[in-house]
């Protein structure tokens, strides 16, 4: 998420749920990639769809999900298994590694957080590093803000009067955003900077940028 490059998306009407849309995105994943997801997406069919692409996964777990300890690992994480809702006999489980920790805010009690991942080797992928890495998922919110507020303009609505026209405008905004971010990544690379250090709003203000 450090580049904020938008690699793929699925668009549909308000009656189509996020899980349905996400199930179409493994097409853009592959070996060497790590997919982060929030707790509402955890399910064996979707998990397998992404792992079949060759990507690794690091997803948050709902609070009520039972993850028994199959084997405790040296860093406090453990191996467990998850099952599809239709797998009543538990004959076809998926082995996962569970990382549990607390998120501490300002002044209040910590929030329990559990992640499951395909990265089973605790030596190569310590639990502390995975917990820190998962927080990068919130960078996606910054991408949405760039698209909806800074690039499109505050309180600016889409002008098309037809569903197909609205979709066309949304895809156009995504293409422009990708081009801007690609420019920012290349600029940062030439100066040895993290792309996060380059201002999106200033890039949009460049003559001919958007």
Last residue of a domain, one of 101, 135, 169: 135
Of the pLDDT bands very low, low, confident and very high (cuts 50, 70, 90), residue 209 is low
Per the structure, how many domains does the chain have?
2
Please give the mean pLDDT across all residues of the chain. Answer: 89
Q: What does the pLDDT read at residue 36?
A: 95
Q: What percent of the chain has pLDDT over 90?
A: 60
Q: Are residues 97 and 117 in the same domain?
A: yes
Q: What does the pLDDT read at residue 182?
A: 92
Element (H, E) at 145: helix 139-145
Whether 38 contacts 137, CB under 8 Å: yes
Span 110-123, average pLDDT: 93
Alpha-carbon distance of 113 to 38, in angstroms, equals: 11
Alpha-carbon distance of 192 to 110, in angstroms, equals: 37
Which range among 17-26, 115-124, 192-201 shows the weakest confidence by mean pLDDT? 192-201
Q: Are residues 150 and 47 in the same domain?
A: no
Residue 105 confidence (pLDDT) above 90: no
Q: What does the pLDDT read at residue 108?
A: 58
Q: What does the pLDDT read at residue 68?
A: 95
Question: What pTM did the predictor assign?
Answer: 0.85
Q: What does the pLDDT read at residue 106?
A: 53
Say if 99 falls within a structural domain.
yes
Q: Cβ–Cβ contacts within 10 Å for residue 179, how many?
A: 12
Tell me the per-residue pLDDT of 68-94, one tens digit each, with 9 for 90 and over.
999 999 999 999 999 998 888 788 999
Tell me the per-residue pLDDT of 7-42, one tens digit each, with 9 for 90 and over.
899 998 889 999 999 999 999 999 999 999 999 999
Span 189-193, average pLDDT: 90
Q: Are residues 88 and 110 in the same domain?
A: yes
Residue 145 confidence (pLDDT) above 80: yes
Last residue of a domain, one of 100, 135, 170: 135
Question: Strand locations in the chain, DSSP E?
Answer: 34-37, 56-60, 71-72, 78-82, 94-103, 111-117
Say if 12 falls within a structural domain.
no
Q: Are residues 110 and 147 in the same domain?
A: no
């Amino acid at each position: 998420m450090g580049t904020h490059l938008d690699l793929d998306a699925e668009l549909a009407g308000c009656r189509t749920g996020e899980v349905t849309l996400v199930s179409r995105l493994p097409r853009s994943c592959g070996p060497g990639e790590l997919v982060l997801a929030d707790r509402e997406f955890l399910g064996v069919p979707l998990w397998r769809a992404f792992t079949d692409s060759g990507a690794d996964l690091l997803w948050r777990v709902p609070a009520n999900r039972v993850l028994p300890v199959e084997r405790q690992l040296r860093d406090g994480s453990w191996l467990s298994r998850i099952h599809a809702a239709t797998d009543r006999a538990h004959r076809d489980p998926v082995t996962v590694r569970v990382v549990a920790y607390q998120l501490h805010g300002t002044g209040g009690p910590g929030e329990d957080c559990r992640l499951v991942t395909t990265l089973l080797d605790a030596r190569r992928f310590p639990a502390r590093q995975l917990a820190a890495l998962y927080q990068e998922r919130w960078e996606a919110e910054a991408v949405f803000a760039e698209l909806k507020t800074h690039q499109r303009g505050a309180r600016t609505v889409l002008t098309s009067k037809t569903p197909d026209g609205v979709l066309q405008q949304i895809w156009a905004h995504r293409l422009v955003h990708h081009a801007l971010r690609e420019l920012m990544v290349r600029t940062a690379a030439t100066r040895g900077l993290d792309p996060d250090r380059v201002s999106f709003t200033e890039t949009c203000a460049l003559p001919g940028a958007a």
